[in-house]
Amino acid sequence: MSAGLEGDAPPDEPEQSLGLAREAGIHQLSIPTPFLVGRVNCYLIEDDPLTLVDTGPNSAKALDELEQALGQRGHRVEDLELIILTHQHIDHVGLLEILARRSGAEVAAFHLLEGYLRDFAASAAADDAFSMQTMLRHGVPPEVTTALGAVGAAFRGFGSSGPVTSPLRDGDRLTLRDRTLSIQHRPGHSPSDTLFWDEPRGILIAGDHLLARISSNPLISRPLDPATAPADPVRERGHALVDYIASQRRTRELGAQLVLGGHGPPVREPAALVDERLRGYDRRARKILRMLSDGPQTAYDIASRMWGNVAVTQAFLTISEVLGHIDLLIADGRVQEDGEGSVTRFCAR
């Protein structure tokens, strides 16, 4: 789970342990966030153009530490020529407006983020409204939903609007002087998850798609493309975990030697980690199926049984987790959904 507040944490991984990346001119910049996930990894690629992957959240502390980290490499914010974004979450895009304005850098990101980031405040408000409606639909009490909505609104200040000058699509290539990065769209953790694959070196810059120490949450998300969105995206929700599993399997087939993630240390055996995560999804799905043998339940009922009070303080994250595994069980024909009333319930077949 990655929402909430905590004290600052030390950097996750000293740069000297990133040997393969450092040899390739890629340097991890560990930037503080106010969230439970701890620090976020931005990456400086010393190439032409001078490139920064992700920005950290919009806070004075994050900006100060980013400037210090750049300074240790002999650079300033004003030297940046290209900013790459891995996905839409605020700990990865929050300083975009400040960095793009001060540097004049080009900004490369998944093409559907062009509209999303043009007015981040409006996009975040729409995301929060979707989250609140989703929580109510799946049994979260109205008073809990209202309280969490207020927390979400408070967090918006850590995000940022900004330009996307180089919209990217799956299969595109981003060419720098010393490397060419293949663009790999991998939805699941978010709809905009984008990987940057340096195939000759075996290095994958992956944002939060694959993390060494924690399993990324496949969050139920508001569709990014209004042209293809269902009429009622809350009732006709996306299948984030189904998408995420398909994305992980595609990533496994790349044969990467090193995955540089958005949090924590690098992943050195990505195929083995993907296999481990897939086994974990199966175990959790079977646990939820056993719970449903007691009779019809909402996603919030199940989350409360699994995580106790965490299902209250992090309701949207926990029901996203439950719904993802229920989607797997529905696809296998082991669970059915009753969405006729105002609250959706599930039962074992």
Q: Find the CATH number of the domain harbouring 283.
A: 3.60.15.10
Domain membership of residue 98 (yes or no) is yes
With a threshold of 0.85, does the pTM exceed it?
A: yes
Identify the band that residue 264 occupies on the pLDDT scale cut at 50, 70 and 90.
very high
Identify the band that residue 184 occupies on the pLDDT scale cut at 50, 70 and 90.
very high
Q: Which two tokens stand for residue 36?
A: 């439970």
Q: Which of 298, 99, 97, 320 is nearest to 190 (CA)?
A: 320
Our count of domains for the chain comes to 1
Domain membership of residue 58 (yes or no) is yes
Question: Looking at the predicted structure, is the pLDDT value of residue 15 above 80?
Answer: no
For residues 107 and 37, the model is more confident at 107
Domain membership of residue 342 (yes or no) is no
Lowest-pLDDT range of 1-15, 24-38, 84-98, 295-309: 1-15
Domain membership of residue 53 (yes or no) is yes
Question: Looking at the predicted structure, is the pLDDT value of residue 340 above 70?
Answer: yes
Domain membership of residue 334 (yes or no) is no
Domain membership of residue 348 (yes or no) is no
Domain membership of residue 9 (yes or no) is no
User: Across residues 108-128, what is the average pLDDT?
Assistant: 96
280: containing domain: 15-292
pLDDT of residue 284: 96
Contact 264, 13 (CB under 8 A): yes
Question: Looking at the predicted structure, is the pLDDT value of residue 14 above 50?
Answer: no
Domain membership of residue 167 (yes or no) is yes
Contact 258, 267 (CB under 8 A): yes
User: Across residues 246-253, what is the average pLDDT?
Assistant: 97
